A and B are shown apart, each in its own frame.
Chain A
């Protein structure tokens, strides 16, 4: 054979052999365990459509870990440092499952945290349950995650159904406080797991509170054009619009609704895309007076928040958001459990997590003191009992569009009342 063919063949064979060897290398642990280190596996979407929030979560976790380690690590384990191993789930459940298996069996982590996308969290937590490794879910909200009778799954965020419940409670309070009549309601939601889950909750609650549902509109999250949806909403003339959107479609829909002059007495988002800092940036004036439900907001009356947020913003260029705060707090919850467990053994950690009772106060860690509710503690199903939500309104404050907490009334930002109905 001539020289060219020979080299081609040679190269191909080398590449092939290399690829085969990767099968074996892939089985080796990503990081060797140091002397005094506790390994935490993190499964997050670091590429793909949810990459922007996945990376935000990652940054929050890294910051919390750094702070905890700087303050001396886990004292009951001789100052052991927390080490995070991040793997990219790509938003794909199969990848999540493989990642969970790898983290547990090869990297031998003490616990896992993840996965942001509910669809990835379901099967991944199942893997951890099988191997009896604790799995902390900071963010995924789908109800089912803590409703399967698992012993090793713990969740910090509030459940879907609680979000919906609070949205409707807010509306009731507003009705009373401002004397507004609200009769018709529209559901507009992304056609994924999250959106359809919220719609089920909304449907039940709308009937309970006596609203007439004039529009039930799922839309594809990756739509290139949402003008038809905006037109439909306009035509239905609802008093209240409930939205569940991811970042991109939240932006597109809001801008489109503004262009098409769609108006309602109240427009409420459900976090997710609306909570993303980019939403505000990219919708400029269009989001003013909209409401959003969120676990947390930078203006909550908690003294440590401004300093922490400034630090985070300095490093990453954007504010902390509800979800990244859940991720931030989760590291503190883990550290607290480790302190009490006095061991890196997954079973002992699990028991310590189940007994968590971290409440705010002068001695409490930073991650807990910034939360919108008082205590972190898990019930039988692994759900954080007090996980709460607040309602914010987008308001123009001295030239910048900010998210202003307006509900519960007692948690509202000083000097601000909800503007209701939307002008």
Chain B
């Protein structure tokens, strides 16, 4: 029996009664950029895997989770600064990704040589997702953990505007990581092999590039980036076994928005999503910003399916 009471406007976003001043907008933009940068970083690994191996990796969120837990435990056990933990986390995750690809995904790619994007990979990666998330649940328990670091709660002030330290470092990390990645892909031999394999598997093979090794490495890099994201997130976000799920769908949206396989696309896509969430939330209930993100996503898909920076393939 519901008590009668005044209802908000049915079905419409609840308008914000408070005036949204320029100050607020600028702060919202700052927040949007900072948030968007780690969204983009999270999506970076996914777009690489997607672009090169052409498979939807539903286990990406779980890789993020593994990266976060790895970062968490290293910081807890050694007391190092989270960014120092990168030294360990990155190689660990790289090896993990490499092995995962080799054991679980490669057999399917081999068996389905002629199919461009085998759907079985989607199921397999989902299986990996369930397994990883729940192994984490069984090993670490369901509780939420946050690690207190020298950065926790610290901010930079620029005039009246707040720049949380941890997120700002995250922004810098994103820029550095993508820079490194771009350099790697453009100038190193392996990087070029990866690009070649992503354009045309068979032709690359003919050129003497070992397809599967390339895939393993690409996946490994994707996982390593997830590890970097883990170190970036740990100072201000909480880690728990299902944390990957929160980022998963968002990463997919960003990747498609930016264009499959495009690194600048992932970053810009991340920024866009971050800004949308931040700005629109000032004008309406934040639950509606979720919807707006989906609407934007669908709009991009219909108008320009290749995404903002994707190449016009016959996707």
User: Which A residues fall within an 8 A CB radius of B?
Assistant: 47-49, 51-52, 55, 143-144, 147, 161, 191, 200-201, 203-204, 207, 214-220, 222-229, 231-232, 235-237, 247-248, 251-252, 255, 258-261, 278, 281-286
Picked from A52, A144, A228, A232, the residue with its CB within 8 Å of the CB of B142 is: A52
Picked from B14, B28, B143, B164, the residue with its CB within 8 Å of the CB of A216 is: B14
Nearest Cβ on chain B to A277's Cβ, whole angstroms: 9
Picked from A47, A222, A226, A237, the residue with its CB within 8 Å of the CB of B137 is: A47
B173 within 8 A of A: no
Binds A, one of B205-213, B215-223, B280-288, B301-309: B280-288
Interface of A is mostly: helix
Beyond known contacts A55-B142, A147-B1: 17 more, CB 8 A cutoff: A47-B137, A51-B142, A214-B18, A218-B287, A220-B286, A224-B247, A228-B31, A232-B18, A235-B20, A235-B21, A248-B238, A248-B240, A251-B238, A278-B144, A281-B146, A283-B146, A285-B153
Question: Which A residues are CB-close (under 8 A) to B245?
Answer: 222
User: Which B residues fall within an 8 A CB radius of A?
Assistant: 1-3, 5-6, 8, 14, 16-18, 20-21, 24, 27-28, 31, 35, 39, 134, 137, 141-146, 148, 152-153, 155, 162, 164, 236-238, 240, 242, 245-247, 250, 274, 277-278, 281-282, 285-287, 289-290
Lowest 10 A-B CB distances belong to which pairs?
Answer: A228-B281, A51-B142, A282-B146, A52-B142, A227-B31, A219-B286, A236-B18, A204-B5, A224-B246, A191-B287
Find out whether the CB atom of B18 lies under 8 angstroms from the CB atom of A203. Answer: no
Which of the listed residues B145, B162, B238, B246 has the most CB atoms from chain A within 10 Å of its own CB? Answer: B238
Nearest Cβ on chain A to B114's Cβ, whole angstroms: 20
Question: Which A residues are CB-close (under 8 A) to B20?
Answer: 235
Name which residue of chain A comes closest to B36, CB basis: A225
**Contact of A235 with B246 at beta-carbon distance under 8 Å, contacts A217-B285, A228-B281, A229-B286 already known:** no
Question: Which A residues are CB-close (under 8 A) to B287?
Answer: 191, 218-220
**Contact of A49 with B242 at beta-carbon distance under 8 Å, contacts A203-B5, A216-B14, A258-B153 already known:** yes
Name which residue of chain B comes closest to A222, CB basis: B246
Picked from A161, A216, A228, A282, the residue with its CB within 8 Å of the CB of B144 is: A282
Picked from A49, A216, A228, the residue with its CB within 8 Å of the CB of B289 is: A228
**Contact of A217 with B286 at beta-carbon distance under 8 Å, contacts A224-B250, A248-B238 already known:** yes
Question: Which B residues are CB-close (under 8 A) to A225?
Answer: 35, 274, 277
Picked from A48, A191, A236, A259, the residue with its CB within 8 Å of the CB of B153 is: A259
Find out whether the CB atom of B137 lies under 8 angstroms from the CB atom of A51. Answer: yes
A288 to B252, CA, bound (A): 38
